[in-house]
Structure 1
Amino acid sequence: MTETRTILVAGTWDTKDDELGYMADVIRAQGGRVLTMDVSVLGDPSVPCDISKHQVAEAAGASIAEAIAAEDENVAMQIMARGSAQVAARLQAEGAIHGVVVLGGTMGTDLALDLCSALPLGVPKYVVSTVSFSPMIPPERLPADIQMILWAGGLYGLNSICKASLSQAAGAVLGAARAVELPRRDRPLIGMTSFGKTVLRYMVDLKPALEARGFEVAVFHATGMGGRAFESLAAEGAFAAVLDFAPQEVGNHLFGSAISAGPDRMTAAGQRGVPQAVSIGCYDLVDFVGWNPIPERFAANPTHAHNRLLSSVVLDGPQRRMMARAVMEKLASAKGETVFLLPLEGGNEWDRAGAPLHDAEGLAAYVDEVRKACPPNVRLVEIGAHINDPAFTEAALAVVDGWIGAGLLSKG
């Protein structure tokens, strides 16, 4: 806990000099080191920063003169956003920084999201913002492990109210940098998507079985941010294979839910050629924010209130066909071994025969559309069971064992 860590403190030092300097002082007082980075355009800090605004602009392939000449603060700050992301990524890769804290209003927050997105999962990322948790921040721009704190009372100048936020952020990022256990790479990692055990249970048996084969297994909660983290790691090449058995986020995005992992969900593993098995966990549900009204276009659909945060619309047959086509269109571009496991008796615990959300015709429509839309690069494996039955787990393990036998996947 006493090991020295260096924190990048970034912001517009021309206008937020006092606030940024205060956070830097708190970090130093706690035994940390600081690198300062200026992302301002027009003015200058009272004391030169370790990384000047000119260096930031140059990292974006531009100059401060160009940013000023644009006569558009949005254009100028996007130059600085690109440059700051490049600089932060380089510093982290070199081991020069171990965490970052960025401060700003809407402009600074816009830049902070790009900067933090450039850093790998596990590197502490803190944003102190006047618009933390605001609906103007789209989920797809949030790195999976970002931390935000509201910069209350801090629009202009220091005071005891805003110091409470600034000091928390400074202490938190340093503490996180000291305490974090970064992901290991000593065993091949399999990424899996799922939901809680009340609805999907395959991970309970699959995880220990895969670990016994020498793999590390990370299970991602497919409720928007979980899918974002899953795709981010897949794009980085962190996974030796993926078992993407809960594709519901594809449907969430398709049908306009705010609980989205973005338009690129279910693409990164395929683009990297990583072996992937996909299935139908909660394929029949679209989740919406529970405290908002269900969109009028779904007025005729049954709904399920999971809790006060989350409500699900049960898709009808034509909508399930749309979902099947959307998934197959994504898989059609996959460059690696791709298997679709199709359990013919249902895709979540609530849709079993006799369960409250069972819809035999809807399931039949989905199965039919999968068969029709399955592209030639995808191997379709039909299973005469439910996704939560042992037969599904056995089929999934057979796929993994086949990859191992074919040399597509190496055990740890």
Structure 2
Amino acid sequence: MAGTAYVIGTFDTKAAELNYVAGLLRAANLPVVTVDVGTHMPAADADYSAEAVADYHPQGRTAVLNLGDRGAAVTAMTQALLGFMAARRDVGGMLGLGGSGGTSIIAPAMRGQPIGLPKLMVSTLAAGDVGPFVGVHDITMMYPVTDISGLNRLSRVILGNAAHALAGMMRHAVPVQADSRPALGFSMFGVTTPCIQQLTARLSNDFECQVFHANGPGGRSLEAIAGAGLLQGMVDITTTEAADHLLGGVCTAGPERFDVVARTGIPWVGSCGALDMVNFWAPETIPSQYSGRLFHAHNANVTLMRTTAEELQRIAAWISAKLNASSGPVRLLLPEGGTSMLDAPGQKFHDPAANAALFAAFERHFLVSDSHKLIRVPHHINEPAFVGVAEQHVRAVMARA
């Protein structure tokens, strides 16, 4: 155990609850400081007052407190807390309590802390879409069931569980293991799992293999880790998130997918994994413009749509423009035998004509150079022969890097 537990919230409305969890953390023999991020009434019982936090706003406390506009005050306090937490040198863990305003203030400060540092947010928003608050960081969100408005027989148990969870994470920190192997980040979907499992098995003696689920958040996580300098190379076999971004699917990683490759020049070896599909939820959620298309029910809640030749040409142009901007080594492998489990002979999405249009579009738009190579591979993406080619290029690129 190292560092101090920071208990953060709006003491003008939640002082009793915040002091309760702080007391439980102190009872667990952890050093604790409390931080007030309220923007209205002054509160005297926090170790760091709202005024002390507000002083970290670039324009000072007057830009944060007593503004009269709650939305503006919350936005300003969010910026101030980011600066306040960035200046701390003893943070061992963070525990926040909040509703919509408190969560909006505290979550960005948690995202500003290193991955691996314990971060737990008890939020009334935790039963909904927490993506905007968590981003691609390791924030634990806990739903308090009741509002955070007074201590009672239920809230004491839930808030107590939160305090003890943070204490457990801080007191039983997982030791960081030294590893001299270069770290590689892999993208994988269910339909490209055989490829990635074979490839990581071949490479794991010489590289630390970190696999990311190409479901939107997974792609953003892969790129965030790469952008933070925690990867030495990317093995981006499964680029399906590009299809979802361009065609309105639910597994989009957003318009910035692949930008880290251009920004950092990180060595990149990738392919067209699962570009044969766009992901939607249950059939009734599929946009009406896609009626009559070829679909596959992955399960009761996930429906896959086969991409067309025209769509694939658009996707290839978009990916190529991203990769062309990289100053680092790039190897783009085109699996002529198919791009996923469903895109194989006898399977529902097998469409050689559509794939031919995809590969031809890559050849038109991808700029080949001494450092950027386009390689046609006459095998299916999940076949051992394709995996062997991928391994060869990963090792060659990483040897040069």
Query: TM-score when scaled to structure 1?
Result: 0.90
Task: Tell me which residue corresponds to 2:397.
Answer: 403
For residues 83 and 308 of structure 1, do their structure 2 counterparts lie closer, same or farther at Cα, with a shift above 3 Å needed? farther
- Between the aligned partners of 2:251 and 2:399, the Cα distance in structure 1 is 38
| Aligned: 1:304 with 2:301 | no
| Aligned: 1:356 with 2:353 | no
- Between the aligned partners of 2:205 and 2:285, the Cα distance in structure 1 is 45
Compute the displacement of 1:376 (Å): 4.3
- Between the aligned partners of 2:134 and 2:260, the Cα distance in structure 1 is 16
Q: Match for 1:392 among 380, 386, 394?
A: 386
Q: Match for 1:24 among 4, 22, 25?
A: 22
Alignment RMSD: 2.2
Could you say what secondary structure the match of 1:349 adopts? coil
Deviations 1:332-351 (A, max 9, x none): 22231111111111111110
Q: Is the 8 A contact 2:2 2:170 kept in 1?
A: no
Task: Tell me which residue corresponds to 1:53.
Answer: 50
For residues 119 and 291 of structure 1, do their structure 2 counterparts lie closer, same or farther at Cα, with a shift above 3 Å needed? farther
Compute the displacement of 1:141 (Å): 5.2
Identity %, equivalent residues: 29
Q: Is the 8 A contact 1:190 1:241 kept in 2?
A: yes
Compute the displacement of 1:208 (Å): 2.6
Residue identity opposite 1:57 in structure 2: A
Task: Tell me which residue corresponds to 2:151.
Answer: 158
Task: Tell me which residue corresponds to 1:190.
Answer: 184
Task: Tell me which residue corresponds to 2:215.
Answer: 223
For residues 296 and 340 of structure 1, do their structure 2 counterparts lie closer, same or farther at Cα, with a shift above 3 Å needed? same
Q: Match for 2:33 among 21, 32, 35?
A: 35
Equivalence map 1:9-408=2 (5 Å): 9-49=7-47, 51-68=48-65, 70-91=67-88, 94=89, 96-135=90-129, 137-139=130-132, 142-181=135-174, 184=177, 186-187=179-180, 188-196=182-190, 199-213=192-206, 215-290=207-282, 293-376=285-368, 378-406=372-400, 408=401
Question: Which stretch has the larger CA shift, 338-347 or 33-42?
Answer: 33-42
For residues 316 and 102 of structure 1, do their structure 2 counterparts lie closer, same or farther at Cα, with a shift above 3 Å needed? same
- Between the aligned partners of 1:86 and 1:309, the Cα distance in structure 2 is 42
Unaligned residue ranges in structure 2 (runs of 5+): none
The alignment of Structure 1 onto Structure 2 pairs a total of residues equal to 398
Deviations 1:344-394 (A, max 9, x none): 111111101211221122111111111111134632111111111122212
Q: Is the 8 A contact 1:346 1:385 kept in 2?
A: yes
Deviations 1:175-212 (A, max 9, x none): 1233342654523211111123x543122222132222
Compute the displacement of 1:5 (Å): 5.2
Q: Is the 8 A contact 2:56 2:80 kept in 1?
A: yes
Compute the displacement of 1:26 (Å): 1.7
Task: Tell me which residue corresponds to 2:5.
Answer: 7
- Between the aligned partners of 1:76 and 1:299, the Cα distance in structure 2 is 46
- Between the aligned partners of 2:178 and 2:67, the Cα distance in structure 1 is 45
Unaligned residue ranges in structure 1 (runs of 5+): none
For residues 386 and 335 of structure 1, do their structure 2 counterparts lie closer, same or farther at Cα, with a shift above 3 Å needed? same
- Between the aligned partners of 2:63 and 2:132, the Cα distance in structure 1 is 31
- Between the aligned partners of 2:311 and 2:222, the Cα distance in structure 1 is 25
Q: Is the 8 A contact 1:139 1:225 kept in 2?
A: no
Deviations 1:272-305 (A, max 9, x none): 1211112111111111234862121221222222
Residue identity opposite 1:12 in structure 2: T
For residues 385 and 238 of structure 1, do their structure 2 counterparts lie closer, same or farther at Cα, with a shift above 3 Å needed? same
Residue identity opposite 1:131 in structure 2: L
- Between the aligned partners of 1:109 and 1:182, the Cα distance in structure 2 is 30
Residue identity opposite 2:122 in structure 1: V
- Between the aligned partners of 1:100 and 1:290, the Cα distance in structure 2 is 37
